[in-house]
Amino acid sequence: MPQLVFATSNAHKTEEVAAILGEAWQVEDLRAHPGVLLDEETGDTFEANAIIKAVSGSRGTPGLLVLADDSGLEVDALGGAPGVRSARYAGETADAADNRAKLKTELAKLGQPTPFSGRFQCCMVLARDGKVLHITHGSVEGRLLTEEVGACGFGYDALFIPDGFTETFGVLPAETKNQLSHRARALAEMKDQLASLT
Ligand code: ITT
């Protein structure tokens, strides 16, 4: 089974990517490569930050294929925030609960009408030995609630209802999220490229 290093410290992302790729790939994240340090995410786009993670991750794992994901939530009524700052929305040391609380506060300030339109965005970058091999993008449109519903998923999932559904990603089964999410769509675009490298 070919090996794919997923350059993330977010175990939830790894679980989703491993489930989406299935048996075809042995996916391991930075827990299996504790000496690899990624460069700081200084970009102002998902793509720029995904390139930083993939390139720095691949320099630390010579010869291996390295995939990186930069993703986040955009809310139209907030001008696209939290966007690339999704992981740090409530501050540099914020956790997911802090970020959800900040989002709920910002949405409450806006008042009606609810729910608010938005989307999850994901950019995936494949690299090897410091060189970018392929870049893909995926998104999923939906609506934001002002109260959390459900305990599945991670990050902002309990506040987001994908279009075509009536439940949040916090309620929908992982199998459903993994068929239509921003991450699933970016990975679908990446699959041919991955297959050509095995
Ligand atoms: P790595 O940089 O180590 O990959 P991270 O969690 O910091 O992990 P990002 O910088 O890409 O990753 O930030 C993405 C944030 O956007 C993430 O922390 C969540 O808050 C949110 N997010 C991304 N995808 C999500 C999803 O599928 N469901 C819920 N929230 C998501």
| Res 20: pLDDT | 97
| Res 113: pLDDT | 74
Q: What is the mean pLDDT of residues 99-110?
A: 96
Q: Are 100 and 38 in contact (CB under 8 A)?
A: no
| Contact partners, residue 71, CB within 8 Å, separation at least 6 | 13, 46, 86, 120, 121, 122, 123, 182, 183
Q: Are 81 and 36 in contact (CB under 8 A)?
A: no
Phi and psi of 155, rounded to 5°? Answer: 55, -125
Q: How many helices (H) and strands (E) does the chain have?
A: 5, 6
What is the CATH classification number for the domain harbouring 37? 3.90.950.10
| Contact partners, residue 70, CB within 8 Å, separation at least 6 | 41, 43, 46, 47, 49, 50, 53, 84, 122, 123, 125
Q: Is the pLDDT of residue 119 over 80?
A: yes
> What single letter denotes the amino acid at residue 26?
Q
pLDDT class for 112, splitting at 50, 70, 90? confident
Q: What is the pTM of this model?
A: 0.97
Q: Whose CA is nearest to atom 16 of ligand 1?
A: 72
Q: What is the mean pLDDT of residues 19-32?
A: 95
Q: What is the mean pLDDT of residues 40-67?
A: 98
| Contact partners, residue 28, CB within 8 Å, separation at least 6 | 3, 4, 5, 6
Note down the domain range covering 179. Answer: 3-196
Residues pairing with 67 in the sheet: 6, 126
pLDDT (tens digit per residue) in 54-93: 999 999 999 999 999 999 999 999 999 999 999 999 999 9
Q: Whose CA is nearest to atom 20 of ligand 1?
A: 155
| Nearest ligand 1 atom to alpha carbon 181 | 27
| Nearest ligand 1 atom to alpha carbon 16 | 27
Q: What is the mean pLDDT of residues 47-59?
A: 98
Q: Spot the catalytic one: 70, 76, 98, 163.
A: 70
pLDDT class for 181, splitting at 50, 70, 90? very high
**Domain tally for the chain?**
1
> What single letter denotes the amino acid at residue 39?
D
Share of the chain above pLDDT 70, in %: 100
CA 55 / ligand 1 centre spacing (Å): 18
98 is a catalytic site residue: no
Rounded Cα gap, residues 157 and 66, in angstroms: 26
Rounded Cα gap, residues 104 and 74, in angstroms: 14
Q: Whose CA is nearest to atom 17 of ligand 1?
A: 87
pLDDT (tens digit per residue) in 150-179: 999 999 999 999 999 999 999 999 999 999
